[in-house]
Structure 1
Amino acid sequence: MSIIEIERTLPTLELPRTIRIYRPTELPADEALPVIYMHDGQNVFSGETASFGKGWEVHHALHAVKLHAMIVAIDSPDDAMDRYDEYAPWTDEALLMRTAYPSHRTTIGGHGKRYMDWIVHELKPYIDEHYATVPTDTTMIGSSMGGVISLYGLFAYPEIITRVAALSTAGWANFSSLLEFIERSPNLSEQHRCYMDVGTKEISGPMTEIDYLHTNDVLAQAVRRKVETARYEVIPDAIHHETEWAKRMPDILRFLFSS
């Protein structure tokens, strides 16, 4: 596996951040590929860099489904509260009350719009300039809070992002704001695809299985009304962990990239 690491300063924290770029080495360097942007980049490949010791190993999933694509994985902030800030498009006092991490902050969230703007207007143009890509074929994948920001990206930039997978979305975060944003968005075109899922045994901090199931059910219903090709799966006994997301990746990629 060959991963190129670059450092970029994001507007959210104004600190250097690692971007991990994977392109299948068996393919010619000049073969234009679709690009998959992924959040929590340190967890996307190897368990050696993953926050909880297990990586998604997405490169293996690409090979398993014989998909020719690039991965651009953006590391999340080291501090868990900064991650909430970056992946939540809206400030949310309820988010502060529901997180598992003690904090002196009075609000959390609200940097997600700037983060997404940076991906679309700065990172994507850089990738398209320096690698052989299909600029009109852009996918975004994230889990938990990464699912929140991925869903936001689909409806904020439908002219740029055509495919999204939101795994085990932390739908309780920014719930009302995200739901309203989706409901007010225009219907997307036939080229758009959206995959969502949630396990029946998902918990994080004080959030229960019921919280995850209910909020994902409601968000998925809203997405289905806007996206013609949408899929929502409730995974029996699945927990909130990278091991589960790694297992689901081949099937998710097949759905997103099926003709």
Structure 2
Amino acid sequence: MPLTTLTRRCALIAAALLLTWNAPAMAASPEPLPQPESGRVERLANVASQHVDARHVDVWLPENFEALKAAGQRFHVLYMHDGQMLYDARTTWNKQAWNVDRTVSRLMREGRLPPTLVVGVWNNGKYRHSEYFPQKYLAHMRPEARELLISKGLQNKPQSDAYLRFLVQELKPLIDARYPTHTGPEHTAIMGSSMGGLISVYAMNEYPQVFGRAAGLSTHWIGGFEPNSHMPLAAYVYLRDHLADPASHRLYQDHGTTELDALYAPYQVFVNQIVRDRGYTEKGAQANFMTRVFEGTGHNEKAWAERLEIPLLFLWGAR
């Protein structure tokens, strides 16, 4: 397929995804509570913030949570974006889900993952892009490209720094007070896909004392819906100067080869080199970086669910 045709098709798919991802994000209450196959979900409804709009937070607890808690167990915590897409396909707009409960439960039963809670933070509808696009990239963009992105893509309201303040200053203290968590960065990870991958990497770099692990699946380095240089270049400059210390952090990156993921390869290759130049390594017992390409997979929850085990085990597990 010619590149121009592929680009147009990917742009149409991406535009549809943007509309559909945004549409259900903050619909009128009550939204259905996800019913996972394993464990249970507790909803922290309309969590208020001084920094961003209120939104639901769906916390997944393993099936033996109460017994473990009574025995004094403390839990690792995985923060995930697009929280309405994580646990139950019956409640999502596209009838797909990450099935996080299924994978985490199995890995814990097998003794390959420590006891873990998942904090699913709902996205904010039409402001999803605004909250997930790393704000400090803007300073490294050409003025005309920056102004266009802010007005069209970010709704004239760049909010990623405010969103991270919500996560770090408000939500994490709430989670740590409500549940028996390990609170240190080595026990705290952040993960997302597409724009959620961008904000996850940004979160670890902006708050390395909070997030010791980050994973981006199908990370959307192009920032928009067509190949371009200005947004990836801004990301490269930021990453070059701000990547978290490899001595105390782990980073996971991947992408597929179809749908929107078909555009990612050249950008991810350069990100990988920046990460290696910073001192991250993929080799041996000290490996703290993993990057993967999944041939024939696309930009959807089904694809991310099928490979979720890989980043989870890299971040915390017995590999």
Query: Based on CA coordinates, which of the two structures has the bigger radius of gyration?
Result: 2
So what's the TM-score if we normalise by structure 2? 0.71
Pairing of 1:89-128 with structure 2 (within 5 A):
89-90=134-135, 91=138, 94=145, 105-106=151-152, 108=154, 110-128=158-176
Question: 2:236 matched to 1:191?
Answer: no
Partner of 1:71: 118
SS of 2:259's equivalent in the other structure is coil
- 2:48 alignment partner in structure 1: 9
Per the alignment, do residues 239 and 86 of structure 1 end up closer, same or farther by CA in structure 2, a change over 3 Å counting? same
Alpha-carbon offset, residue 2 of structure 1 = 1.0
- What's the counterpart of residue 24 of structure 1? 62
Aligned CA RMSD, in angstroms, stands at: 2.3
| Larger helix share, 1 or 2 | 2
Worse overlay, 4-13 or 193-202:
4-13
Contact 1:202–1:212 (Cα < 8 Å) also in 2: no
| Structure 2 Cα separation of the partners of residues 169 and 149 of structure 1 | 9
Q: Which ranges in structure 2 are unaligned for 5 or more consecutive residues?
A: 1-38, 224-230, 282-287
Tell me the TM-score normalised to structure 1 length.
0.87
Contact 2:204 2:244 in 1 (8 A): no
Report the 3-state secondary structure (helix = DSSP H, G, I; strand = E; otherwise coil) of the residue aligned with 2:59: strand
Correspondence 1:57 to 2:95: no
Residue 88 (1) aligns with residue 127 (2): no
Q: CA, structure 1 residues 63+114, in 2 after alignment: closer, same or farther (shift >3 Å)?
A: same
Partner of 1:236: 295
Equivalent position amino acid for 2:276 in 1: R
For residue 111 of structure 1, report the CA deviation from its aligned partner: 0.9
Report deviation, 1:212. Answer: 1.4
Q: Does the CA contact (< 8 Å) of 2:80 and 2:118 recur in 1?
A: yes
Q: Quick one: distance in 2 between partners of 1:106 and 1:89?
A: 15
**What stretches of structure 1 of length at least 5 have no aligned partner?**
99-103
SS at match of 2:91: coil
Cα displacement (A) at 1:186: 5.6
1:48 Cα deviation after fit: 2.0
Greater fraction of residues in strand: 1
C-alpha contact (below 8 Å) 1:2/1:25 kept by paired residues: yes
Partner of 1:214: 266
